[in-house]
Amino acid sequence: MALLIDGKAQARALRATVADAVRRLGTHQGLVPGLAVVLVGDDPASQVYVRRKGEHAREVGMRSFEHALPAATSQATLLERIARLNRDPEVHGILVQLPLPAHIDPEAIIHAIDPAKDVDGFHPLNVGALAVGGEGLAPCTPLGCIRLLESHLGELTGKHAVVLGRSRIVGRPLASLLLKKDCTVTVAHSRTPNPAKICRQGDILVAAVGQPGLVQGDWVKAGATVIDVGITRLGEGDSRRLVGDVDAACVSRVAGALTPVPGGVGPMTIACLLHNTLIAACRQHG
Ligand code: GUN
C-alpha cells in the first residue's frame, strides 16, 4: 500500500517555522507581517477559506486584516480598496479570494495588486518571473505541492513529473516550479489524447483538474509519488465530503506514496500563503 503523505503535519511544521521567523522579526526589527484578505460576496466555501486564512495568520503572530464586502460591490469600489491596501505600510500581503462575482473582471483586480504584495502570485509580473525561473512570489498551492514532494523524495532533480491540468492557479505555475527543480516536466490536459498513458510515465504525478476520481490505478507508474490537488465537494448535509481527482482506493495499491484528500495539499496551501507573506514583508522592509 502507498504511504500517505501527511499534509497536516507538514503544514503544522511550516507554520511553526514561519511563527519562529515572525517572532525574530518582531524582536530584532520591530516588524509585524500583515496579511489582508478580501472577500466579495457570501459564497460559503470562500467564507470558510477566508476565515481560516485569518486565523492561521494570527496564530503565527501576523496581523490579519479581513475585508468582507457585499456581493453588489462595484469593481471601482474594489479597486479603491486595493489601492488603499497597496499604500498601507502595515499590509505586506494582499489576497483577493476568487472567484469574484460575475460583474467584476478578475484580471483588472489581479493587475491592480502591488506585485510586491501579491502573495497569491497571480500578478503578470510574478507569473513572468516564475516563467523565466526568477524570484517573484509563486502561487501557494503549487508551492505546497513542491514541499510535499521534497518531504517524501528529497531531491527532485531528474525525475519525470507529469502535471495533469493546466490551470493558472495550479498546473501552469507548478510546471514552472518543477522545471526550476530540474525535473523533466510533461503537462497533460483535457485535450491530451490518452492521458492515462502519459500519466503512467511519471515518477511524480500531480492531478489538478477538479474531476473526482479521474485518476485510476492504471494511470499510475508502480512506486510513483502522487499528489492529489483536487477538492470537489460532493453530497449534502451529513453525507457532505471532499473528493480528490485520484481514486485513492485503487491508486494506493500502485503508487509509492499519495497525498490524502482532505489533509494533503489543502493545509499546505495556507501554510505557504503565510510563508509568502513573511517573504513579502522581509522584502518590503529592505
Ligand atoms: N480560490 C481558490 N483558490 C484560490 C487561491 O489560491 N487564491 C485565491 N485568491 N482564491 C482562490
Annotated binding site: which residue ranges?
165-167, 231
With 90 as the cut, is the pLDDT of residue 238 above it? no
Ligand 1 centroid, distance to 232 Cα (angstroms): 14
What's the N-to-C CA distance of the chain in angstroms?
48
Read off the pTM.
0.97
With 90 as the cut, is the pLDDT of residue 78 above it? yes
Indicate if 97 belongs to the active site. yes
Residues of the chain within CATH 3.40.50.10860 domain(s) are 32-113
Annotated binding site for NADP(+): which residue ranges?
165-167, 231
* Strand, coil or helix: 211: coil
Cα(78)–Cα(68) distance, rounded to whole angstroms? 11
Which class in CATH covers the domain with range 140-267? Answer: alpha beta
May I ask the CATH architecture of the domain 32-113? Answer: 3-Layer(aba) Sandwich (3.40)
Asked if residue 40 has its Cβ within 6 Å of ligand 1, the reply is no
Residues of the chain within CATH 3.40.50.720 domain(s) are 140-267
ipTM of predicted assembly, 2 dp: 0.94
Q: What are residue 3's phi and psi, to 5 degrees?
A: -70, 140
Hey, which of 169, 273, 274 would you mutate to test ligand 1's pocket, going by the most ligand atoms within 8 Å of its Cβ?
169
Name the residue among 138, 145, 167 with its Cα closest to residue 257: 145
Burial class (CB in 10 A: 0-12, 13-18, 19+), 131: middle
Asked if residue 169 has its Cβ within 6 Å of ligand 1, the reply is yes
Tens digit of pLDDT for each residue in 45-73?
Answer: 999 999 999 999 999 999 999 999 999 99
